[in-house]
Amino acid sequence: MADTYLTKDGDMIDEICWRYYEKGQQALAVERVYEANRRLAMLGPKLPAGTLVILPDLPRPAATPIIRIWG
């Protein structure tokens, strides 16, 4: 289930995504947030206070296998 975020003056989408999403999810997070909030692109990079942003659920990152070279 998607969450929502109410912006403070000067918030930026990439910063919100960096704080909200897990490290492995951040690569596509900004793109997915803009897809879920089509009007945000018209507001510019710094969002005005009180803007409601939908933070969609993203797929869990696949586990990275550990390769041991020595032992």
Which pLDDT tens digit goes with each residue over 5-52? 999 999 999 999 999 998 878 778 999 999 999 999 999 999 999 999
DSSP structural state of residue 11: B
Virtual torsion, Cα 52, 55, 38, 53, nearest 10 deg: 10
For 32, other C-beta atoms within 10 Å of its C-beta total 17
Flag whether 60 is in a domain. Answer: no
Name which residue leads in pLDDT, 11 or 2.
11
Flag whether 67 is in a domain. Answer: no
**Which pLDDT value is given to residue 59?**
81
Flag whether 23 is in a domain. Answer: yes
Flag whether 29 is in a domain. Answer: yes
Host domain of residue 49: 3-55
For 55, other C-beta atoms within 10 Å of its C-beta total 19
pLDDT for 61 beyond 70: no
Flag whether 61 is in a domain. Answer: no
Structural domains of the chain, count: 1
